[in-house]
Structure 1
Amino acid sequence: MSTVDNTPRWLAVAALAKIKNGAYSNLQLNQLINEHRMDRRDINLLTNMVYGVIQHRLTLEFWLKPFVRHPYQLDPWVRELLLSALYQWQYLDKIPQRAVFNETIEIAKVKGHPGIRRFVTGVLHQMDRSGLPAFDTIEDPDERLSVTYSMPVWLIQELRQQLGATKMEAIIASLNQPAKQSLRVNTALSTVSDVTTALTNDGLTVEPSKISPLGLVVTDGQAINTEAMRYGMFTVQDESAQLVVPALNVQPGDQVLDACAAPGGKTTQIAAELDADAGGEVVALDIHANKVRLIGQNAARMHVADRVAATELDARKVQTQFDDESFDRILVDAPCSGLGLMRRKPEIRYEKQLQDSLNLQKIQLAILAAVAPTLKKGGIMTYSTCTILQQENQDVIAKFLADHPEFELQTTPTEQDLKADRTDKTLSIYPDDYLSDGFFIACLRKK
């Protein structure tokens, strides 16, 4: 095997070619990191390149187009090699252009035939001589925004219509910034102070979250490789996602339904608030058996398995196994388009269409309608999504309330009193607000 096969640049190109065929970026990266021995610097470069090329794909393709007449007739790895060279050249200031071009040509030489090496060399040198096309040559303003921020036109138009032009542009600009490495402390086992100390002693740099009182943000180092992670003192969870469970106001002896639970992050957060000796339990549903096992594994790692009943069941069929008024609290963390996660999973932006949100709305409403009878009178049902479109958020709540007058909307609370001046009772966290994931949370009380 040549030395090229183990460089972060070649591994990034190989990953990008697979991601274009449907593989998820985070899964591809984790697999490569596990298979190849790399130091922290190489892991950082690999991660930066993979996410960077995906995030800026429309921009990079715009720059490449004048130099490659039919880019999609190229082998996928050759196309991704040229896009990754463009990304490094334009976005990674600390890497000299000469180094980028030299290694790109070396990869083309080793992985392809002489014709590919000559082709790649010629494209790079022509780009260098001619310069890259400017965004202001694009006449249509929405297409210009799409290329500038590498965001689909339909989403730009939808966000502008819902939130206004200024907020729309702030959101799409923020989504190309790196995702934070955020953690949630497991209060069943530890404290924020103890986890901070443990990670600091392992050489990591950690700061408290400004969004969640249980959150920590790692600014240097990899938390997943620590003993504290293996022991279950914390779990990896975005700061916005940590706000959902506190909105339920779980009590130690409550019977709780987590209707769409996998992989179990919010399940374990609920369980940490429960007391098994007082009868507290969270029933965690998922439709797939392998995901139910994953919920159980996460509950065991977080030392809360005695309070979790992982169950294989479609939430829309919950009444086949549970009586009316069985639960004190219900969480519907609904299946959604995931558009609030574009910073963390950048490929989502290219895979979704508006119709996906409209189709999901039907499923979201069906789940809410199915679980609603199982909530006790006076109980709280929290609905949440990790998307930023009102079709899956405010519209769902409005339609549910219109059909279920026995429920009333309450103001979503947060311990940090986030967005205290908002007029809506629901809570919308947009990706530009705190540089966390986009999230929506609504609290419904059964009269």
Structure 2
Amino acid sequence: MTDRYQDLVHTPVGKFLVKNLGLPNPPKLERYRPDAPLVDGTVLVGAAPGSTLGSSVTDALATLSVATTSTLDEGARLKGIVLDATGIDTAAGLDQVQEFLTPVLRSLSACGRVVLLGTPPEQAATPGRAIAQRALEGITRSLGKELGNGSTAQTVYVGSGAEHAIASTLGFLLSPKSAYVCGQVIRIGIAGLTDAPAFDVAAPLAGKVALVTGASRGLGLAMAQTLHRDGATVVGLDVAPLADDLQREMAAIGGESIILDITAPDAPQRIAAYLSEHHGGVDVVVHNAGITRDKRLRNMKTENWHKVVEINVDAPQRITAELLDQKLVRTGGTILGVSSIAGIAGNNGQTNYAASKAGVIGWVQELAPRIAADGLTINAVAPGFIETDMVKTIPLTIREAGRRMNSMSQGGQPIDVAETIAWYASPGSAAVSGNVVRVCGQSLLGA
């Protein structure tokens, strides 16, 4: 859907009004293009004394062909800043973050990136380390709201033993692929998986099979197209009324179609049978299909409550259980759920939807350690305000609030959610499990 306000502010008249009236000023976000470098510029890399990720960061960025520097020349511009803060183990030691960042932040280009690397606070051996490492989240969440101009800030916790599994995550966070991801915390090597294979940066999913539900339009279609771009053979699934759209879109990317209602009692078995017969298994399972039936709880009909929960979280859990029982998700495979900021912060008139999307988070966090022994991962995205056909039904004032109440002052695009899914799906993200990453432009709602 067109954001007319965003179009206006980039005109001469709009720029004048924004400057003189203090209106929101949504920047033009850079998004990834396959014909462009992954990171189009230089990344400054630093480390606090005693930090442990130096060689891992250097190796990872070299693998990604990212230009780096350890010093900032006068007048130089930076596309990214990475600080290894794993050595900070006291509250007083946090001065080192400020002393490193303050002199260089003004050199950050538009749509720049800041990434702080730490160790999981829950793995801290001392109170001082737990304080310092948890404080990194407060720094990046606040910095993300300060930077402006389309720039972002994130915290990445690297668990013990996962030091060499960070390339995929750094590539995602430093590149335009994470255009609408800001103020997030990512944990690597927490759910029992600490290693990741080498991967082809241009086509990480070559030879892989991906199932995407709700794939005929919107977020699901963007996910299918992006996974195909990264090399996957895509099997799209949707309901019978959308069969023509699904078959047309899947044919355009050389994919396949399954016409099926995921709430059917035999849906898990039918999906499993198709994947087994046609592909001998599956590598990526994206549970995107979902619905809303909005009413305040006092006016909610039982059938609308039940249907939302059934489609959004119960059916994905049942389908996944069947695929796992039949051992059809291949080693190194990943299961991906779609949550929502409504499941984190709640939303007026969406108790059923929020319940289902919070349920997705509970499912992801419970299943992650259980499937780690089989070399499998599970994660979730939590979209915020994304410009899909669904937003056309939202009243104007609420729609504008959704667009402006985030650090980017605009809604996201379906590709932003799809890029996050593709990062999770990459073999290089094999140590990323049990995470819930918001794709919301750092919405003011939620955590």
TM-score above 0.5, yes or no: no
TM-score, normalised via structure 1 length? 0.36
Bigger Rg over Cα: 1
Higher RCO structure (Cα 8 Å, ≥6 apart): 2
Report which of the two has the higher share of helix. 1
